[in-house]
């Protein structure tokens, strides 16, 4: 295909034109750009920097200090090139001077510079100043440019650094993006003028120009602020539209039977915490309403969400209706089934378990093959919303660890409900959600928080174990087993080395079963040959998983080696130690979830974080887990380190890839929410704002909100 010449590259261009039409791009480079999600000129202009280097201030050479990175401007006094002694490297040495001093500059493997630079050229160079006794101070392998270009995209300014791929550097991207910024005026601004004026936001095209090549620090700040607002505003709009849809639905009112519910709570073998009582009452009030409940029960590990869910199910049963409980894994669904059977052992109600692998009932061990569900409480996996399932009279759906259960799934449950009514919805999560995150991303949900533990819940001592102390940890584990206790061992993904030409790349093998099998064999054959050890991973059949879990629960196994399949909900009161291999490969919130598998009884419990990493940054991150048991503080730390998508799962929960917005900027989140509420109140279908409507549709497509 014909490319547009350098002379004419700013003419006849439009945002939808392919990047292969640009000067000196062509097929090979356009294929590389595709790896960055860049196909068109519009994509290129929306390929935003990931960070910046401030090379805007020129430092006098006399002020150069070893170890500092700085930008210098000086006249070239001399330049020469030579081979190193082992002849594996070419070294180019130059000397520049300004009005204050001279400075040696060393370039590696760039012999062409002796032809590119001429004595007397004025150069701008940015890099790190090093020092060696035989060389003195010198600038090591700097970024360089002749100062003949006062509008250089690479030096003498705040310089953007972009996400890169092989063969596509930030320098190359800067040289292509800068001349195309004239096209930024072609972008249509989706934000209504009244919102921009009210919040003093710059125009979208100005934000595009300044985010790439900011004139000043304040210009960059204004661009980031505008683009951050846009991200939060789209999320807030989506939230308000969801809330509007829910307001138009109606549900069956579940009358509060105070006497019966009070009797159930009094007869429990434990006392509810104040947080459990408060949350249960919030749910009961929601159920006693014709507007469908849409509530998230957010409780830290071990805070007792299951009994609160059981109280909600009891309210529904007392009204003669059905409750469905959906869990993310068969292991957790089976455990919920066992717990609910125990809770309601003195009640004449039927509890049913339905997964893709088996179908059980508390009254009949063998269930009929048809999928007409008549039990009072039905527990299962996603099998509950598959086609062909029919509920007799469903009034409440409880979703465990699936709190972005969308409108489409709710519609499917309504469709599967023979009475055709919308069920109340209670979502539950054991991953604590910081306040600002809940406001920004879960504004369509009412939230109940379990922020305290049952009084008999023991603190779990957590230790970061270096390789040198692994033996002592094994001795401690053996001692705990001799006391009659049991141990969890969690395995990460396997890290593999892949050699590609001259470099080594590390990739993760997503079949974590291999890591678990290797650990199982090591512990069984070398470390604890005298102990009974079991293995659990996600690719085992359901009956195999059930058998292993029952063996562990019945104390027929001393150690259970597992993948992250036991991350959520698994309850083994006799387990007192959880040993996590390769702890640096897990997020903080996930480690906190693992830790919650122990400390569930009267015994003192421990969590050992094993890591082979010597990085101080890794140690500092893992110390967060070792030093606090507060899940909300841990979630905030994880949010800052990794972002929401990594913690809560982008595809599952519809969390946008926030490039500019901070989920700790409470003020901006509130502003976005307020403006979205006002807009949806006046125009609920965004008829007058087609660009916003299109942007919202694109957002839903990219983030899989449903």
Question: Got the DSSP string for 3-14?
Answer: PPPTTTTTSS--
Kindly state the percentage of the chain with pLDDT values over 70.
Answer: 87
Q: What percent of the residues of the chain are helix, what percent strand, and what percent coil, each to the nearest 5?
A: 40, 20, 40
Greater confidence, 417 or 223?
223
Mean pLDDT, range 548-576, rounded to an integer: 84
Instruction: Look at residue 501 in the predicted model and tell me its pLDDT.
Output: 42
Instruction: Look at residue 311 in the predicted model and tell me its pLDDT.
Output: 97
230 φ/ψ angles, rounded to the nearest 5 degrees: -55, -45
pLDDT higher than 50, residue 503: no
Instruction: Look at residue 445 in the predicted model and tell me its pLDDT.
Output: 80
125 φ/ψ angles, rounded to the nearest 5 degrees: -130, 140
Give the Cα separation of 333 and 341 in Å (integer). 12
Select from 364, 570, 598 the least CA-distant residue to 462: 598
Q: Is CATH 2.40.50.140 the right assignment for the domain spanning 57-156?
A: yes
Greater confidence, 429 or 314?
314
Greater confidence, 433 or 399?
399
Instruction: Look at residue 500 in the predicted model and tell me its pLDDT.
Output: 41
What strand order describes the sheet that includes 605-610?
A: 460-465, 605-610, 575-580, 486-490, 559-562, 533-536
The position carrying tokens 């009929």 is 368
pLDDT higher than 70, residue 499: no
- Split at pLDDT 50, 70, 90, the class of 352 is very high
Instruction: Look at residue 509 in the predicted model and tell me its pLDDT.
Output: 43
DSSP sequence for 127-196: EEEEEETTTEEEEEEEEEEETT-TT-SSSSSEEEE---BTTB-HHHHHHHHHHHGGGGGGS---S-HHHH
- C-alpha of 409 from chain center: 22
DSSP, collapsed to helix, strand or coil, labels residue 302 as coil
Cα torsion at 185, 191, 194, 199 (round to 10°)? -100
pLDDT higher than 80, residue 646: no
Cα torsion at 482, 483, 484, 486 (round to 10°)? -80
Cα torsion at 654, 660, 663, 666 (round to 10°)? -130
C-beta separation of 411 from 434 below 8 A? no
- Split at pLDDT 50, 70, 90, the class of 526 is very high
pLDDT higher than 50, residue 434: yes
DSSP, collapsed to helix, strand or coil, labels residue 393 as coil
Cα torsion at 344, 601, 312, 651 (round to 10°)? -120
Mean pLDDT, range 571-596, rounded to an integer: 88
pLDDT higher than 70, residue 250: yes
Instruction: Look at residue 369 in the predicted model and tell me its pLDDT.
Output: 54
- Split at pLDDT 50, 70, 90, the class of 359 is confident
The position carrying tokens 């499917």 is 412
Task: Check if 57-156 and 258-289+304-429 are the same fold.
Answer: no
Greater confidence, 450 or 79?
79
C-beta separation of 251 from 290 below 8 A? yes
Looking at 158-162, 240-244, 396-400, 438-442, which range is the least confident one? 438-442
Instruction: Look at residue 9 in the predicted model and tell me its pLDDT.
Output: 52
Give the Cα separation of 263 and 517 in Å (integer). 48
Give the Cα separation of 612 and 286 in Å (integer). 49
Give the Cα separation of 192 and 679 in Å (integer). 10
Greater confidence, 675 or 467?
675
pLDDT per position as a tens digit, 47-100: 999 888 877 778 899 988 998 888 898 999 999 999 887 767 899 999 999 989
Mean pLDDT, range 244-262, rounded to an integer: 91
Select from 347, 346, 324 the least CA-distant residue to 336: 324
- C-alpha of 194 from chain center: 33
Domains in the chain: boundaries: 1-54+164-185, 57-156, 193-248+660-703, 258-289+304-429, 460-628
Instruction: Look at residue 200 in the predicted model and tell me its pLDDT.
Output: 96
C-beta separation of 614 from 665 below 8 A? no
Give the Cα separation of 343 and 319 in Å (integer). 18
| Helix extents (H) in 248-351 | 258-266, 274-287, 305-318, 330-343
Q: What are the structure tokens assigned to 62, written together?
A: 């006399």
Instruction: Look at residue 194 in the predicted model and tell me its pLDDT.
Output: 94
- Split at pLDDT 50, 70, 90, the class of 568 is low
DSSP 58: B
Q: What are the structure tokens assigned to 19, written together?
A: 């990047």
Mean of per-residue pLDDT scores for the chain? 84
C-beta separation of 451 from 303 below 8 A? yes
What residues form DSSP beta bridges with 509? 494
Greater confidence, 430 or 127?
127
Q: Is CATH 3.40.50.300 the right assignment for the domain spanning 460-628?
A: yes
Select from 157, 126, 603, 546 the least CA-distant residue to 330: 546
The pTM (predicted TM-score) of the whole model is: 0.69
The position carrying tokens 């210098």 is 72
Instruction: Look at residue 650 in the predicted model and tell me its pLDDT.
Output: 44
Instruction: Look at residue 228 in the predicted model and tell me its pLDDT.
Output: 94
- Split at pLDDT 50, 70, 90, the class of 367 is low
pLDDT per position as a tens digit, 5-44: 554 554 578 999 999 889 888 888 999 999 999 999 999 9
pLDDT higher than 70, residue 497: no
DSSP sequence for 458-498: PPEEEEEE-GGGHHHHHHHHHHHHHTT-EEEEE--PEEEEE
The position carrying tokens 């061990």 is 365
How buried is 697 (Cβ within 10 angstroms: 0-12 exposed, 13-18 middle, 19+ buried)?
exposed
Q: What are the structure tokens assigned to 691, written together?
A: 């660009």
**CATH classification code of 258-289+304-429:** 3.40.50.300
**Cα atoms in the 13 Å half-sphere on the side-chain side of 288:** 12
DSSP 327: -
pLDDT per position as a tens digit, 382-429: 888 887 888 999 999 998 876 555 556 666 777 788 777 889 999 888
Mean pLDDT, range 585-593, rounded to an integer: 84
Helix or strand holding residue 701 (H, E): helix 690-703
Q: What contacts 703, CB < 8 A, 6 or more positions away? A: 650, 654, 655, 656, 657
Q: What contacts 218, CB < 8 A, 6 or more positions away? A: none
Instruction: Look at residue 590 in the predicted model and tell me its pLDDT.
Output: 83
């Amino acid at each position: 295909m014909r490319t547009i010449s350098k002379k004419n590259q700013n003419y006849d261009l439009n945002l939808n034109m392919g990047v292969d039409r640009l000067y000196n791009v062509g097929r090979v480079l356009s294929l590389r750009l595709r790896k960055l999600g860049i196909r068109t000129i519009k994509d290129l202009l929306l390929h935003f920097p990931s960070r910046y280097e401030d090379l805007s201030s020129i430092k006098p050479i006399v002020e150069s200090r070893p170890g500092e990175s700085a930008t210098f401007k000086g006249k070239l006094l001399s330049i020469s090139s030579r081979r190193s002694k082992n002849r594996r490297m070419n070294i180019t040495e130059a000397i520049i001077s300004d009005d204050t001093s001279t400075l040696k500059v060393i370039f590696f493997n760039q012999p062409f510079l002796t032809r590119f630079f001429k004595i007397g050229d004025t150069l701008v160079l940015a890099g790190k100043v090093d020092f060696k006794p035989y060389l003195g101070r010198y600038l090591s392998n700097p970024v360089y440019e002749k100062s003949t270009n006062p509008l250089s995209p690479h030096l003498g300014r705040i310089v953007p650094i972009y996400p890169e791929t092989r063969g596509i550097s930030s320098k190359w991207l800067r040289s292509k993006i800068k001349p195309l910024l004239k096209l930024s005026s072609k972008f249509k601004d989706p934000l209504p003028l009244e919102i921009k004026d009210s919040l003093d936001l710059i125009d979208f095209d100005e934000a595009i120009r300044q985010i790439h090549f900011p004139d000043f620090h304040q210009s960059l700040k204004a661009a980031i602020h505008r683009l951050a607002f846009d991200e939060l505003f789209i999320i807030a709009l989506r939230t308000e539209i969801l809330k509007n849809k829910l307001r138009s639905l109606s549900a069956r009112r579940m009358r509060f039977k105070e006497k019966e519910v009070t009797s159930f709570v009094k007869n429990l073998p434990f006392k509810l915490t104040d947080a459990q009582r408060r949350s249960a009452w919030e749910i009961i009030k929601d159920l006693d309403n014709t507007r469908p409940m849409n509530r998230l029960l957010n409780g830290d590990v071990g805070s007792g969400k299951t009994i609160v869910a059981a109280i909600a199910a009891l309210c529904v049963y007392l009204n003669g209706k059905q409750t469905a409980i959906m869990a993310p894994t068969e292991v957790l669904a089976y455990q919920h089934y066992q717990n609910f059977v125990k809770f309601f052992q003195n009640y004449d109600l039927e509890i049913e378990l339905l997964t893709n692998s088996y179908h059980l009932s508390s009254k009949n061990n063998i269930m009929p093959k048809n999928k007409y569900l008549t039990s009072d409480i039905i527990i299962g996996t996603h099998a509950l919303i598959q086609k062909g399932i029919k509920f007799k009279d469903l009034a409440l759906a409880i979703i465990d660890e699936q709190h972005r259960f969308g409108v489409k799934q709710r519609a499917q449950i309504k469709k599967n409900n023979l009475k055709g009514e919308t069920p109340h919805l209670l979502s539950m999560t054991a991953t604590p959600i910081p306040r600002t995150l809940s406001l920004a991303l879960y504004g369509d949900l009412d939230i109940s928080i379990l922020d305290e533990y049952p009084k008999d819940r023991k603190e779990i001592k957590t230790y970061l174990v270096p390789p040198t102390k692994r033996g002592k940890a094994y001795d401690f584990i053996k001692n705990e087993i001799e006391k009659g206790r049991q141990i969890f061992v969690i395995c990460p993904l396997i890290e593999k080395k892949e050699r590609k030409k001259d470099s080594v790349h590390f990739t993760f093998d997503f079949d974590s079963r291999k890591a678990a099998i290797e650990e199982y064999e090591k512990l069984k054959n070398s470390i604890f040959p005298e102990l009974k050890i079991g293995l659990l991973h996600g690719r085992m059949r359901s009956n195999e998983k059930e058998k292993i879990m029952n063996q562990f629960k019945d104390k027929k196994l001393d150690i259970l080696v597992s993948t992250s399949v036991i991350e959520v909900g698994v309850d083994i009161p006799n387990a007192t130690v959880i040993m996590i291999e390769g702890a640096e490969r897990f997020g903080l919130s996930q480690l906190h979830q693992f830790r919650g598998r122990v400390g569930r009884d009267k015994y003192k419990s421990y969590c050992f974080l094993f890591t082979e990493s010597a990085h101080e940054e890794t140690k500092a991150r893992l110390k967060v887990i070792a030093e606090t048991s507060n899940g909300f503080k841990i979630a905030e730390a994880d949010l800052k380190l990794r972002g929401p998508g990594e913690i809560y799962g982008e595809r599952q929960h519809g969390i946008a890839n926030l490039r500019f917005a901070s989920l700790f900027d409470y003020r901006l989140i509130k502003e976005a929410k307020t403006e979205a509420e006002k807009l949806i109140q006046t125009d609920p279908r965004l008829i007058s704002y087609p660009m916003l409507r299109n942007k919202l549709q694109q957002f839903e497509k990219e983030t899989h909100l449903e």
